[in-house]
């Protein structure tokens, strides 16, 4: 047994979250792709079976009231709220991340433009800044929102946002953690800069919620969105969520007003009147099966000792140990970390760029990184690949252990060594 293997054993033995691993369906594969799809909590299938067989199969339409289907989007939102640092009544669950980005961004621009009209001689807010390194869908949505609201769209690197803000800026769409590199951006400072310019901040939390503290209320974030199938383990395609800060809720003007967000949803009125509170973020009939699977998955956060702070502490320890193991096991010059070393700038993943010194630009007809990840998966280490040359490894502290980390780095070293 190597020194690093012994260290991993000691770290696992001292891990206060180690017991939570048993709450998940796992096998002998080292699963480091929870930043794409979280593992299945073991109790979820039984809960979903109850939803299908009893609530749907026996109670049928009565379940909208008797089983609480109708209020599920807000009820589950209140369970997610503490995981992103929000008080109850500000998060609603439903739709996809992309749909919620659209709702939030258009609403933010409308509020900014309303501010200008209310001030009489205020600036014309006709510009949206978007994270230039964002996940493609966010960029597509931002472009569409800009066309819809008559705004110009400016892609800007997050670090350059403070200098790019101006009196014409209406809204800024940013990612808390970069999906490709795992870089954690400074949410408090960037939000403050956006507010100082008189604009509204919209944050995408897909790669941070459930992995690290967010502090939406503490830092005065206006609007935020996120998915639930990564670190929240809600299942493939599980519904996303939308945060609307409490004082902004009366002004939240959704571009997708549906009957579920109407003040009288069963009044069937031809005129739209928005409901009060976070309910304004709803659109159509909620996806009950996925919603209730997510609700069951969130039970893991009720376990003794499970908290965002504990998860963050373990996340940093896991990623530190992985980088140490990579340095030890991987031959020099074969990979390079593009994830910041500083804890304050690191999410819960490590991204490694494959070096051209591995050989030709392509191996076996595939890009180097893609071929390396394929071989890793064949050898029982599951991460993922992002073009053109990045290997991503996600660390979900609720079920990833230090032995997993050591094994992944050891297999990676053997794989890139040839």
Q: What is the pLDDT of residues 212-251, one digit of tens each?
A: 999 999 999 999 999 999 999 999 999 999 999 999 999 9
Position 334 pLDDT exceeds 50: yes
Triad 88, 91, 93: Cα angle to 5°: 130
CA gap 193, 361 in Å, rounded: 42
Q: 390, 402, 417: which is closest to 180 by C-alpha?
A: 390
pLDDT at residue 147 in the model: 97
Q: 402, 310, 213: which is closest to 17 by C-alpha?
A: 310
Query: Tokens standing for 116?
Result: 């200008």
- Prediction pTM value: 0.96
pLDDT at residue 197 in the model: 97
CA gap 164, 161 in Å, rounded: 5
| pLDDT tens sequence across 140-175 | 999 999 999 999 999 999 999 999 999 999 999 999
Position 282 pLDDT exceeds 70: yes
Mean pLDDT over 345-362 rounds to 76
3-state secondary structure of 242: strand
Position 360 pLDDT exceeds 60: no
pLDDT at residue 357 in the model: 53
Q: What are the catalytic residues?
A: 135, 204, 229-230, 392
Cis amide linkage into residue 260, ω under 30° from 0: no
CA dihedral for 321, 322, 324, 325, sign (positive or negative): positive
| pLDDT tens sequence across 95-107 | 999 999 999 999 9
Mean pLDDT over 74-100 rounds to 98
Average pLDDT across the chain, whole number: 95
| C-beta atoms surrounding 166 within 10 Å | 14
**Which CATH number is associated with domain 51-302?**
3.40.640.10
Mean pLDDT over 192-203 rounds to 98
- CATH number assigned to the domain with residue range 3-17+305-417, chosen from the 4 options 2.40.30.170, 3.90.1150.10, 3.40.50.150, 3.40.50.1000: 3.90.1150.10
pLDDT at residue 356 in the model: 60
How many residues are present in the chain? Answer: 418
- Local confidence band at 43 (pLDDT 50, 70, 90 cut-offs): very high
Tell me which of 117-131, 206-220, 282-296, 320-334 is least confident: 117-131
Cis amide linkage into residue 388, ω under 30° from 0: yes
- Local confidence band at 120 (pLDDT 50, 70, 90 cut-offs): low
Q: What percent of the chain has pLDDT over 90?
A: 93
The domain ranges of the chain are 3-17+305-417, 51-302
């Amino acid at each position: 047994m190597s020194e690093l293997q012994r260290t991993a054993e000691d770290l696992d033995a001292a891990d206060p979250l180690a017991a939570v691993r048993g709450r998940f369906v796992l096998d002998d594969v080292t699963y480091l792709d929870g930043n794409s799809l979280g593992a299945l909590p073991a109790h979820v299938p039984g809960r979903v079976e109850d939803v299908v067989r009893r609530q749907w199969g026996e109670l049928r339409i009565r379940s909208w009231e008797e089983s609480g289907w109708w209020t599920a989007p807000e009820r589950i939102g209140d369970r997610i709220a503490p995981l992103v640092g929000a008080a109850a009544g500000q998060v609603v669950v439903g739709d996809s991340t992309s749909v919620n980005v659209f709702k939030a961004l258009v609403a933010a621009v409308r509020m900014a433009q309303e501010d200008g009209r209310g001030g009489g001689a205020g600036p014309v807010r006709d510009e949206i800044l978007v994270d230039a390194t964002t996940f493609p869908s966010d960029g597509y949505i931002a472009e569409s929102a800009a066309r819809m609201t008559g705004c110009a769209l400016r892609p800007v690197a997050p670090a350059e946002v403070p200098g790019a803000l101006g009196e014409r800026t209406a809204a800024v769409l940013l990612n808390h953690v970069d999906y490709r590199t795992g870089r954690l951006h400074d949410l408090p400072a960037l939000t403050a800069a956006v507010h100082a310019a008189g604009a509204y901040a919209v944050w995408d939390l897909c790669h941070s919620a459930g992995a690290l503290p967010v502090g939406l209320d503490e830092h005065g974030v206006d609007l935020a969105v996120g998915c639930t199938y990564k670190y929240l383990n809600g299942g493939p395609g599980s519904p996303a969520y939308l945060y609307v800060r409490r004082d902004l809720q009366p002004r939240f003007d959704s571009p997708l007003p549906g009957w579920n967000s109407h003040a009288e949803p069963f009044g069937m009125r031809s005129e739209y009147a928005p409901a009060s509170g976070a309910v304004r973020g709803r659109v159509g009939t909620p996806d009950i099966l996925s919603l209730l699977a997510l609700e069951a998955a969130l039970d893991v956060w009720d376990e003794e000792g499970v908290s965002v702070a504990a998860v963050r502490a373990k996340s940093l320890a896991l990623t530190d140990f992985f980088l140490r193991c990579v340095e030890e096991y991987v031959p020099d010059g074969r990979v390079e970390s593009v994830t910041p070393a500083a804890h304050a700038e690191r999410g819960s993943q490590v991204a490694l760029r494959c070096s051209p010194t591995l050989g030709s630009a392509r191996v076996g007809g595939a890009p180097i990184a893609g071929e390396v990840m394929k071989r890793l998966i064949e050898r029982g280490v599951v991460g993922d690949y992002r073009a053109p040359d990045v290997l991503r490894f996600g660390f979900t502290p609720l079920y990833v252990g230090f032995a997993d980390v050591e094994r992944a780095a050891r297999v990676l070293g053997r794989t890139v060594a040839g």
